[in-house]
Amino acid sequence: MRKAAVVFLFLSAVFWQAFCQTSTTIKQQPIQAPPKIEFGKITIEQARKELAKVQGTSNMSAYLEAYALALPLDKALVLYREFFPKLPAAQQEAAARTVISLALIAGRLDDAIFFLPSISTAQARMLELRLCLATGKLQEAQMVLQRIRNPEQSKKTALSLQEDAEIKLLEAWLLYFEGFIEQSFSAAKPLVTTENEKSIRNEAFLLLWYIANSDAFAQIKSAKKGFDEKSIKAAIGKESPYSIEHGIIAGALKIAPSAWILESTRLSGLALSAKPAVAALSGQSAQQDKAGGASDSSAGFSRLQVGWFSVRENAVSFQATLVKKGFKTVVEEQKNKDGELRWAVIVDAEGDWSQMQARLKDAGFESYIVQ
């Protein structure tokens, strides 16, 4: 009996030692890097099979991104829809940022709205709200606003003063789309004060201009002095003569309110740029300069090129990387001197190209100014 006990203990010790060695070996194994797949060299069926092998692992999101970026955008979004719920919870927010960028680039707004709740930031809620407004999902927009204003949510996501101002602006837009024109007018008027950022003031001016051009403007009972069509045009022309909002108000661009809401999400850098609109404004600015109008010497230096690709999908992938790091980025189709298609990755300098160039350099990206 004693001999059997000794043998048992010996075998147990050997087993435990072997287990520990195996465990140590497994833990020390490096995480396998996701495969580098050339675009178009894999089918969605093959991607599904490969992803099933890494389901639940610590680098599943990296594999999902690698396979998705090797597929056409429509199939990439299908792949994300299928495998996103299977990702570990800790990986879902980062994966959501990638797929939302892809969805906006593809113009698949419903897909972007589907994934946005996975991101908990105030910026994500504002983008979700804009997309709901742009697609006419007014009830969903109300629900997003309720989540933002929920006291419990407010504790988790504290809003800065400017974020709070933008939320108020989006509330004013929602009232406008719901047909509550006077309430929208009253909500938008305080937002044109100088305490708010210029982008918020410009957009508030635009909303007020749409209201001033509507049949309902005459029925508004609250004070309207200084907010008629002519006064708004003069105010934004003085403050932001080269803005897209001024281009709309001055008549250089024709765009409906719902289309503007969608365009404003593109200008945030999460989708393709509004190149035609920018080009139209550039022409308008040149005419103003020829006519002797004041010109802003820095107006032409608001964009920095960070990448130049011969394959569009590589440009889109690089754009997604920049967006993750907080840069407002667009992809523009161009041609080289031989007439071959190329794709430039452009970062919005947000009014100060030298400061933005320094930010890019600190993040490890070289850039140069483009008109």
Query: What pLDDT, on the 0 to 100 scale, is given for residue 229?
Result: 92
The distance from CA 50 to its chain's CA centroid, rounded to whole angstroms, is 29
Query: What pLDDT, on the 0 to 100 scale, is given for residue 230?
Result: 94
Look at residue 22 and give its three-state secondary structure: helix
Residue 304's DSSP bridge partners are 347, 369
Structure tokens at 137: 């999902």
Query: What pLDDT, on the 0 to 100 scale, is given for residue 171?
Result: 95
Structure tokens at 6: 């000794």
**139-163 exposure pattern, b = at least 16 Cβ within 10 A, e = fewer:** ebbeebbebbeeeeeeeebebeeeb
Query: What pLDDT, on the 0 to 100 scale, is given for residue 295?
Result: 34
Query: What pLDDT, on the 0 to 100 scale, is given for residue 47?
Result: 92
Q: Are 128 and 141 in contact (CB under 8 A)?
A: no
Q: Are 303 and 347 in contact (CB under 8 A)?
A: yes
Residue 346's DSSP bridge partners are 305, 330
Query: What pLDDT, on the 0 to 100 scale, is given for residue 79?
Result: 95
- For the residues 45-57, what does the mean pLDDT come to? 90
pTM of the model: 0.61
| Whole-number Å distance between alpha carbons of 134 and 290 | 37
| Whole-number Å distance between alpha carbons of 120 and 324 | 14
C-alpha count within 13 angstroms, C-beta hemisphere, residue 303: 17
Query: What pLDDT, on the 0 to 100 scale, is given for residue 269?
Result: 38
Residue-by-residue DSSP string for 172-189: HHHHHHHT-HHHHHHHHG
Weakest mean pLDDT among 116-125, 286-295, 297-306, 333-342: 286-295
| Whole-number Å distance between alpha carbons of 308 and 333 | 10
Look at residue 324 and give its three-state secondary structure: helix
State the pLDDT confidence band at 7, using cuts at 50, 70 and 90: very low
Torsion of CA 10, 12, 14, 18, to 10 degrees: 180
241 vs 367, higher pLDDT: 241
Weakest mean pLDDT among 59-63, 252-256, 324-328: 252-256
Query: What pLDDT, on the 0 to 100 scale, is given for residue 365?
Result: 78
Q: Which residues, including other chains, have CB under 8 Å from residue 286's CB and lie 6 or more apart? A: none
